[in-house]
């Protein structure tokens, strides 16, 4: 296996986390049912690389799964999670007026949840163009990748369902031909197949009755390989499974190349380490929730 060069020091796939602004309420927090009509507050960056090393967990649990040593996961009141996988829809057409590049540039990934919330609120979600390079088998491959985690439902860790109604989802999957940075430069050189962006909220504040303004978790999957050809179904399945692992709460990447949650996607299936890690996360009280 060849090691990556130059750009390579950045993780090939990055899960961007934000800790969002709180709006106090008198009653207990209600988990969101839609994003329509919500005020979209500015978010406070919560990471995206260079976080503090987490304390090592039990054997098989990679510490990079934690956020600054803290557990991030969904809770029972949010279940079942609703996942909307678009059939090739691209959100790249929404431009940053200052930079003149797509708002989906990877340097601005912390703002993707706000972008998608705006798209939903403005009723544009059903009128998005299909990403160049998308082919119908990509959709099925993405579903297969997401369902790599389905077996853990039998253990009572979490529940998720697919939805065809984009107005009700918690997690969204969109597509891009390739990723660009804040300068509009295409990131072609390396095997960057996807990114996940989500906001997180202090769970203790939720229990105290404070109401966060929830925003969607956003996954972008690349439709093409390094040669510009449609991504293979096998690689698409692995990348979708990897990104969904981030959406479930795994923060950064395992350093073991045989794990699905490494930057090399392992063998494209959930490894024993991946399984131990997701169990560890969901069997501990969360410090933050998406």
Q: What is the pLDDT of residues 185-209, one digit of tens each?
A: 777 667 789 999 999 988 998 888 8
Distance, CA of 197 to CA of 43 (rounded, Å): 12
What pLDDT is attached to residue 211?
79
**Predicted pLDDT of residue 189:** 63
Q: Are 136 and 232 in contact (CB under 8 A)?
A: no
How far apart CA 94 and CA 91 sit, in angstroms, is 6
Q: Alpha-carbon distance 274 to 285, whole Å?
A: 19
Return d(Cα 173, Cα 86) in angstroms, integer. Answer: 6
Least confident among 46-60, 176-190, 273-287: 46-60
pTM reported for the whole predicted model = 0.83
Residues 208-219: b if buried by 16+ CB within 10 A, e if exposed: eebbbbbbbbbb
The strand ranges marked E within the chain are: 15-20, 22-23, 43-45, 81-85, 160-162, 171-176, 194-202, 211-212, 217-222, 288-289
Rounded to an integer, the average pLDDT of 20-48 is 35
Mind listing the pLDDT tens digit for each residue in 194-253? 999 999 988 998 888 887 778 899 999 999 998 889 999 999 999 999 999 999 999 999
Report whether the peptide linkage leading into residue 80 is cis, meaning its omega lies within 30 degrees of zero. yes
% of the chain exceeding 90 in pLDDT:
67
Structure tokens at 200: 């997180």
- Band (pLDDT 50/70/90 cuts) for residue 265 is very high
Distance CA 121, CA 213 (A): 14
pLDDT surpasses 50 at 44: no
Residues in the chain: 290
Q: Across the chain, what does the average pLDDT equal?
A: 82
Q: Is 56 helix (H, G, I), strand (E, B) or coil?
A: coil
């Amino acid at each position: 296996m060849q090691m990556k060069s130059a750009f390579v020091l950045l993780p090939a796939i990055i899960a961007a986390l934000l800790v969002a602004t709180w709006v106090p309420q008198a009653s207990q927090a209600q988990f969101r049912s839609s994003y329509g009509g919500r005020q979209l507050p500015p978010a406070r960056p919560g990471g995206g690389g260079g976080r503090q090393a987490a304390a090592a967990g039990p054997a098989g649990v990679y510490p990079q799964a934690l956020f600054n040593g803290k557990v991030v996961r969904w809770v029972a009141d949010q279940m079942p999670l609703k996942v909307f996988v678009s059939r090739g829809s691209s959100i790249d057409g929404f431009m940053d007026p200052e930079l003149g590049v797509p708002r989906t540039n990877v340097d601005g990934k912390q703002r993707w949840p706000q972008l998608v919330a705006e798209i939903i609120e403005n009723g544009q979600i059903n009128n998005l163009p299909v990403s160049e390079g998308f082919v119908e088998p990509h959709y099925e491959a993405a579903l297969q990748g997401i369902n790599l985690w389905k077996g853990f439902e039998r253990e009572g860790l979490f529940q998720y369902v697919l939805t065809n109604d984009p107005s009700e989802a918690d997690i969204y999957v969109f597509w891009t031909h390739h990723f660009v940075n804040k300068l509009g430069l295409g990131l072609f050189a390396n095997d960057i197949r996807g990114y996940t962006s989500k906001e997180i909220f202090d769970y203790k504040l939720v229990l105290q009755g404070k109401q966060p303004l929830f925003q969607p978790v956003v996954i972008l999957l690349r439709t093409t390989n390094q040669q510009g050809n449609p991504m293979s179904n096998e690689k698409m399945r692995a990348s979708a499974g990897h990104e969904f692992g981030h959406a479930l709460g795994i923060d950064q990447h395992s350093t073991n190349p045989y794990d699905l949650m490494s930057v090399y996607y392992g063998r494209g299936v959930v490894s024993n380490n991946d399984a131990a890690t997701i169990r560890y996360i969901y069997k501990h009280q969360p410090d933050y929730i998406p």
